[in-house]
Amino acid sequence: MSDDQAARPGTAPGPAVAGTTRTRTAAVIPAAGRGVRLGPGAPKALRALGGTPMLVHAVRAMARARDVTLVVVVAPPDDAAGVRHLLDAHPLPASAPVGAADVVVVPGGPTRQDSVRLGLAALPEDVGVVLVHDAARPLVPADTVDAVIAAVRAGAPAVVPALPVPDTVKQVEPRGGGEPEPVTGTPDRSRLRAVQTPQGFDRAVLAEAHERIACEGEGATDDAGLVERLGKPVVVVPGHEEAFKITRPLDLVLAEAVLRRRAKDGY
Ligand code: CTP
Ligand code: MG
């Protein structure tokens, strides 16, 4: 299906309601995935890292950013109450700009794209800048979050933290089942970037992208990709190696090592 066919006529968000201005920055944390690639167990975001649930690390990483005053957590649809309970049991430090009342929990959907759309629907009118941050990237440093917000506030409608790709990447005709796969191309590695989160957006632009681009199949794995399909500019800023995504069991080993180093360095 072409992008044109995929775009629904949906209404673009209008201007802020009279009397309110969109000055606040909020973070939406999609945390509704199962974590199939991590293996059997609790939903990925609820598994412990250094004794603390991954989701709690991710909420703290957002709350640590200077400008973030609201965090919307998108929970597994069958356990939103359990996630609320978990977050209440791990309150944010008093120094965080986000108070306990400003962490909202909403149930997610079957794909990441659905979950983010449901999180955006929970934002109050006065939010003008939105970060979307994977619960599965619990260790993103505060400086990376602040840099993304700063780039949006400086006028970029969509900002993505990213790193150069260490491996050479091949394009193939997928076969599956371990069968040899014919190579169809080798993109120039110097022009490739591996993207991370939090991705930052002008709220109206991201809302329009989620309203107009219908979720097909597994849906979009990246919010900036939806904005690109609207034809709006997206820019990349430097990401951070500690913003890696916890996907497979080996990633847990790396995350535990990062936490041990931070404990030693007094992070
Ligand atoms: N996510 C979500 N709703 C879904 C699917 C994914 O909110 N229906 C979230 C995950 O919780 C995660 C982020 O999107 O924080 C990135 O997804 P991914 O790393 O793929 O996590 P999972 O989908 O949980 O893992 P897997 O694909 O291995 O099952
Ligand atoms: Mg997934």
pLDDT at 253 over 70: yes
Distance 93 CA to ligand 2 centre (A): 30
The pLDDT of residue 16 is 55
The pLDDT of residue 100 is 65
Where does the pLDDT of residue 93 fall: very low under 50, low under 70, confident under 90, or very high at 90 and above?
confident
Average pLDDT, the chain: 91
Q: Is the dihedral of CA 21, 22, 26, 30 positive or negative?
A: positive
- Phi and psi, residue 163, nearest 5°: -125, 155
pLDDT at 158 over 60: yes
Looking from the CA of residue 246, the nearest atom of ligand 1 is 19
Q: Is 117 in the pocket of ligand 1 (CB under 6 A)?
A: no
| Bridge partners, residue 7, by sequence | 213
The pLDDT of residue 162 is 98
The pLDDT of residue 1 is 40
Looking from the CA of residue 36, the nearest atom of ligand 1 is 29
Distance 131 CA to ligand 1 centre (A): 16
Domains (range + CATH), the chain: 3-12+20-161+193-265 (3.90.550.10)
pLDDT in tens, 100-155: 669 999 999 999 999 999 999 999 999 999 999 999 999 999 999 999 999 999 99
The pLDDT of residue 216 is 86
Looking from the CA of residue 109, the nearest atom of ligand 1 is 8
Q: Is 32 in the pocket of ligand 1 (CB under 6 A)?
A: yes
Distance 21 CA to ligand 1 centre (A): 33
pLDDT at 86 over 80: yes
Cα–Cα distances (Å) from 68 to 7, 12, 99, 129, in that order, read: 31, 25, 11, 9
**From atom 23 of ligand 1, which residue's Cα is the shortest distance away?**
33
d(Cα 39, Cα 195) in Å, to the nearest integer?
24
**From atom 8 of ligand 1, which residue's Cα is the shortest distance away?**
111
Greatest CA separation for the chain: 62
Distance 108 CA to ligand 2 centre (A): 13
The pLDDT of residue 255 is 98
pLDDT in tens, 212-233: 998 888 888 899 999 999 999 9
Distance 30 CA to ligand 1 centre (A): 7
Where does the pLDDT of residue 9 fall: very low under 50, low under 70, confident under 90, or very high at 90 and above?
very low
The pLDDT of residue 17 is 56
Could you say which ligand is closest to the alpha carbon of residue 32? 1
The pLDDT of residue 101 is 66
Cα–Cα distances (Å) from 28 to 36, 55, 99, 134, 174, in that order, read: 22, 12, 16, 8, 33
The pLDDT of residue 215 is 85
Distance 72 CA to ligand 1 centre (A): 16
Of 28, 38, 44, the one to substitute when testing ligand 1's pocket (max ligand atoms within 8 A of C-beta) is: 44
pLDDT in tens, 15-74: 555 567 888 999 999 999 999 999 999 999 999 999 999 999 999 999 999 899 999 999
Could you say which ligand is closest to the alpha carbon of residue 114? 1
**From atom 10 of ligand 1, which residue's Cα is the shortest distance away?**
33
